Chains A and B, each alone.
Chain A
Amino acid sequence: MAKPNPIDRLSRFLGDQICYVFLITVAITAYEVVMRYVFNAATIWVTQTAIFLSALGFIFGGAYAMEQGRHIEITSIYDAVTPPVRRVFDLIRCGVAVVYLGFLLYATVHQAIPALSRMETSGQAWDVPIPAFQKAALALGVAAMLAQALRQLVGRLAGSPRPSGESS
């Protein structure tokens, strides 16, 4: 088997590492419940942190799901057409992903830049720059997805078959 493509490796690396945010979310949620209920000392940071961590999981899970071929699609017509038509469908599918994610990258970068430049904070009692980081993370996550989409488009143009697992 050929060595995995670097973009695939990046997507997989992101997903493999980002998944721990959910374990941390469980831990801090339990901590919050115990602090509030047992010690009558609710924290000011758990809610915001839990939302932020989950958001990171959602954002970077996108490229991970693409690499694993897990994005959901309807294949009844795709399965019924002839191989040449199927190839056209494939190119359209990859093209749509590239165009959407390209526009989205432009939009999310333009959203992240002002938020980062003024280090936008949550404005809550725990007044931390989570919004700035989260807007930046969204742009990075979209960039990772766009890289994955481009890699799939190039692969299809070169005539390679759909990666296993991508069809379902």
Chain B
Amino acid sequence: AMPGRSAKAAETHEWKMESLWQGGSINQTIFADFCNRVDAATAGRVKITPMPVGSIVAYNETLDAVGSGILEAEHNGIAYFAGRDAAFALLGDLSGGYEAPWQMQAWYEYGGGLELARELYKPYGLYFVGSVWWGVESVPSKVPINSPADLKGVKIRAPEGMASQLFKAFDANVVTLAGSEVYTALERGVIDATDWGTLSMNTDLGYQKIAKYALYPGVHSMPAADVAVNLDKWNALSDDLKATVEMAARDFSRDMVERIAVQDREDAQKMRAEGVTLIDWSPESRRIFRQKAQGIWETWSKKSPMAGKVYESQVSFMKKIGLL
């Protein structure tokens, strides 16, 4: 810090913020747009430098990095921190739960989610500003999976806890495989299907060339990312800046969901033209899947007191809007 700086200069906040996105991806571009809008809306008083995944610390280490002040902020997958507290898993990706991002966002904003998230993040030294979705994920597959029953025996790669347990509950042959191994493994037939990203993320990597089916819109996963700031850095903001950043985060989520959805739809048409069969599960299949999923959420809810609170809150909200 420079001695004798003016009060005006003291109002400038510079944050390095690491995301979960690869440097060249559309998601990182949307994230950079968010940073630019914060800069513009605060007249340059909050300057955020967007950093791609892994540039400062690894994807699942940003929580500690922000808490200890190495980074000022993060925009990361909430479920990546499931090893610290099971509540992160239930808060970040209620596998098989919601059907569209707006439903889960409604729980965050009007069902108590935001308060629970802030309570969960506080002991780690972070302020949870808001959450960002990017749409429902899609499963590229070499075999048709038209219903939960078709999962039986399918060699499917799933990295995350709840999703993989869910597939296993339907007798899938769930394979744990590092991200860097997935493409070659699917191409060679080590696996039949894989959890990856949204339809457009999968298309960018060329999955449609090796897998002629895709679950779209998928049901197993709809992850949320956070916008979270080091607690001291957040408390250093004046109230107008806090309100501005919170509003920008809410707009960021809409921007991400809409832009990815448009691209997904474009890519869906292209894929159909290339002979890929897109499989949309029936409401009945989704209901069967969600019922089984609830049992798995419940086992995770018993792992910690916070997990229990997050679970109870979501289940009661889902009942209210008719999902359960």
Contacts and interface: CB of A to CB of B under 8 A. Distances in A.
Interface string B65-86: 0000000000000011111111
Contact of A42 (B82, B159, B176): B176
Interface in B130-169: 153, 155, 158-161, 164-165, 168
Interface stretch (A9-17, A21-29, A117-125): A117-125
Nearest to A45: B176
A47 B164 CA distance: 14
B161 A125 contact: yes
B244 interface: no
Nearest to A43: B176
Contact of A125 (B88, B153, B176, B178): B176
A102 interface: no
Nearest to B160: A124
B168 A122 contact: no
Given A118-B84, A131-B83, A124 B159 contact: yes
Contacts of A40: 153, 155, 173
Contact of B174 (A42, A118, A122, A127): A42
A157 interface: no
A101 to B, nearest CB: 21
A36 interface: yes
B177 A120 contact: no
Interface in A103-159: 111, 114, 118, 120-127, 131
A44 B88 contact: no
A48 interface: yes
B201 interface: no
Contact of B173 (A42, A47, A131): A42
B84 A47 contact: no
A163 to B, nearest CB: 36
Contact of B164 (A44, A120, A131): A44
B199 interface: no
Contacts, number: 64
A65 interface: no
A41 B155 CA distance: 9
Contacts of A125: 158, 160-161, 164-165, 168, 174, 176
Nearest to B60: A123
B175 interface: yes
Given A42-B155, A118-B84, A131-B83, A124 B161 contact: yes
Contacts of A114: 64
A114 B158 CA distance: 28
Contacts of B165: 125
A109 to B, nearest CB: 14
B60 to A, nearest CB: 8
Interface residue range, chain B: 20 to 34
B89 interface: yes
A46 interface: yes
A123 B88 CA distance: 9
Nearest to B123: A118
A122 B176 contact: no
A121 B86 CA distance: 9
B162 to A, nearest CB: 8
Contact of A123 (B158, B161, B174, B190): B161
A46 B176 contact: yes
Contacts of A118: 84-85
Interface of A: 36, 40-44, 46-48, 111, 114, 118, 120-127, 131
22 contacts: A36-B175, A40-B173, A42-B155, A44-B164, A44-B176, A47-B176, A120-B83, A120-B84, A121-B83, A123-B79, A123-B80, A123-B81, A123-B83, A123-B88, A123-B161, A124-B83, A124-B159, A124-B161, A125-B158, A125-B161, A125-B174, A125-B176
The 10 closest A-B pairs by CB, nearest first: A123-B82, A123-B83, A125-B164, A47-B176, A121-B83, A42-B175, A125-B161, A40-B173, A124-B161, A120-B83
Given A44-B164, A131-B83, 8 more contacts: A40-B155, A41-B173, A42-B173, A44-B174, A124-B83, A124-B164, A125-B165, A127-B86
